[in-house]
A = this chain, B = another copy of it.
Amino acid sequence: MTDWLSPEEWAAVRLSLKVALTAMAASLVPGILVAFLLERGRFWGRQALDVLVHLPLVLPPVVVGYVLLLGFGRRGPIGSVLAEQFGIVFAFRWTGAALACAIMGFPLLVRAVRLSIETVDRKLEDAAGTLGANPAWVFLVVTLPLIMPGIIAGMVLSFAKAMGEFGATITFVSNIPGETQTLPTAIYTLTQVPGGEAGALRLTLASIVISVGALLASEWLARRARRRFFA
C-alpha cells in the first residue's frame, strides 16, 4: 500500500502535513486576535493593519517569499534577532515553510473569523456581562463559541492554502528534501523535467486525498458546532 509513493515522496507528504498543521495552529490565535482588532477595534492604524493583513494575498507569492527571506533569513533583521535571542531559526527549516504558509493563509483565516465576529449578537455579550462575566470571560464563554463556524472555516482555508502554497515557500526556504520539500514544491520539481508528469500526478492525488480528509473533518466539526445551536 505504501509503495505507490517513494520514501522521499512520503517524506514530502508527512512534511506537508506537519507544515500545514503547524501553520494553521500557529496562525489561529493571532488570526482571531487580529480579526477582533479589525472588527471591533477603533484605533489609529486600523486601516494600515487591514492592508498589511491582506498583503500576502495581493502580492505574488514569490515577493512574499523574498520579503520573508530578507526579513527572517539568517542575516535578516528579524531572523538574526530571533536566532540569537531565542534560538528560533526559520531559514531553510521546515519551520520556515510553516511560517510562509501561515502568512500566506493569514488573510483567509482573518477574513473568515471577521465575518463571524460581525454576526455575533452584541446583546448576548451584554447579557453575559450583566451576569458577572468580565470582557475576557465573555470572549471565552460567549463570543468564542459563537464564532466557531468562522474559526473552523478559517482553519480549513488556512490548512488548504498551506497544502497548496508553493511560491513563497520555495523562495523563502528552498526545496530541501526532508527539511523543506513540501508537496507543492515536490510537484513543482517534477514538472520541471521530462517524464515527471506521472510523479506530479501521484503527488497531486496525495494532496487531494489529504485535503478531502481535512474537509470532512472540518465539516464534522462544523456540524458539531452547529448542533450546539439547533439541538
Contact = CB atoms under 8 A, between A and B. Distances in A.
Interface of A: 47, 50-51, 54-63, 66, 107-108, 111-112, 114-116, 118-119, 149-150, 153, 156-157, 160-161, 163-164, 166-167, 183-185, 187-188, 191, 200, 204, 207-208, 211-212, 215-216, 219, 226
Secondary structure at the A interface, as helix, strand, loop or mixed, is: helix
Given A111-B112, A111-B157, A153-B111, A164 B57 contact: yes
Contacts of A183: 60
Given A55-B211, A62-B191, 15 more contacts: A47-B219, A51-B212, A51-B215, A54-B156, A57-B157, A58-B164, A58-B211, A61-B61, A61-B167, A62-B166, A62-B187, A63-B191, A107-B157, A107-B160, A119-B149
Nearest to A118: B149
A157 B191 contact: no
A61 B62 CA distance: 12
A161 B116 contact: no
A119 B216 CA distance: 21
Contacts of A62: 166, 187-188, 191
B191 A57 contact: no
A59 B164 contact: yes
A108 B47 CA distance: 21
Contact of A164 (B60, B156, B204): B60
